[in-house]
Structure 1
Amino acid sequence: MSDRASITEGHQLVLVTGPSGAGRSTAINALEDLGYEVIDNLPLSLVPRLVDGAPVGPIALGLDVRNRDFAATALIELIDRLTRRPEVSLDVLYLDCSADELIRRYNQTRRRHPLGLEPAEAIAREVDLLAPVRVRADNLIDTTDMSPHDLKAEIARWYDRDDASRMSVAVQSFSYKRGVPRGVDMIFDCRFLSNPHWVPALRELDGRDAAVVEHIRQDPNFEEFFTRVRDLVLFLMPAQQKEGKAHLTIGFGCTGGQHRSVALVEMLAYVLAQQGWPVSKRHRELERRVAVTLPTQAG
């Protein structure tokens, strides 16, 4: 999200999406309580018109497969189009949930899935459809173990414009082969560190595994690199908050986005949490792998 200081200088727009049943309606209602003007299921073709005139305040749009002209490619094109407009501060919020939990929620409420199929098949198809959008999200909230109250509290933590006392931080890993993520404020390249990919026993693991972390820590450059990054980030955080930042995104990139960048994200997120900063972490390439396997598992 953009600086609090710039909220009145342009359009602030939050796009809320995710699989049906993951909590989009709850999130939209929570944003309305926080002072956002909310519009649910506005056709994608009409969204650009909202930012053609003068800013009228923050807007939250609920977008899912029920939209009349919804398509993942169309939504991605819309995101790209809005991102190129300097007067628009765009934030894409993706509400995620495990397939098993989505099935349980549909069975419990006896609601019909918007795709008109049996819940398991419909959920698998919808997750597959939304996979490219999930990867493009700025914020991802997994609601699997959340109650509606928990989700409302999480939405407030990220989007309460009146809470100027805290700045939220997102730390994410990525692969340079797939390009730099959109909207990252600071990026650290860790491709110079020893690559666990070349160790057969570590190749299929990722940077959350203790053996992978230990391998990276053995690199003679690791300790000084992480110490300098940690100290720089901790030094900059209060200054960024004082400047009016509501949200800061920090990225770590490596070759495949599986080992080194993932490990560094986990380490820095832990440090920030210990210092009391509201922090979330994302691993873009690991999410891509999950997105590929989820439809098969759900079906």
Structure 2
Amino acid sequence: MRLVIITGLSGAGRSNTLKAFEDWGYFCVDNLPPELIPTIAELCGRSDTNIDKVALVVDSRGGVFFDELENVLEQMKDRKFEFELLFLDASDEVLIQRFKATRRKHPLASEDRTLVGLSLEREKLAEIKKKADYILDTSDLNVKELNEELGKIFAKENERKGLLINVVSFGFKHGIPLDADLVFDVRFLPNPFYVEDLRKLTGNDKEVQDYVLNYKVTQTFVDKTFDLLKFLIPYYIEEGKTQLIIAIGCTGGQHRSVTIANVLTELLNKEGQWAIIDHRDVYKHLGEN
């Protein structure tokens, strides 16, 4: 099991760092009291959990509990727990600007100025920083650059395939998926619903697929949509996007959208992408009168 303990200065990017670890498949816990680190390590290390990557954020938000971090890390070493310590740092000038931008108060500032809180935090973390396996200064990094730097260390051994593409078929009468990034309306395609032998079948059945795909307009739509996706995907990846949700909609989500979603998913996977399918409404017709 790979265990990463993340700490550092408030405002140095711990929240964005934890999001990156979540995207890489780590089991993540934020604002954990240091005394619970060994317990989490033991629980996640059990063979029946199937957890092989853990990231824990420990920081000054923990108040008096945070003071125990140095002792707990020594205990972890004594107990032969393997872990890596990541320390996030940034200049005072940058941190002050970040606090001003978010209008949040430094956890150690109390009634004092942010700079006072930062000074206290640097003093508390001085020894921890010396023991860190990795020190990352985020002063000049945006979120994308931060993820890239973290990825060089913590994502290189992952089996991550890149951008996860969810292709979702749905019916407009049941509502558009709220999390969709791209929505394609295929209600203009010939509708198998009006063919009696096909009405109760779905786009997962060959008879329906043959009917829908037999039309030239369908083939043209598939070709043009696939070309568009091949154009867009590299830019989504460059932007740092980790999941793309493509929604394909017809009237009820039973025939046309299911067929097209299946075809696009197959084409994307043949292209080397990581695409999975979700037919949200395909069987909802069974409960209708």
TM-score by length of 2: 0.50
The structure showing larger relative contact order (alpha-carbon pairs under 8 Å, at least 6 residues apart) is 1
TM-score by length of 1: 0.48
Please identify the structure whose Cα radius of gyration is greater. Answer: 2
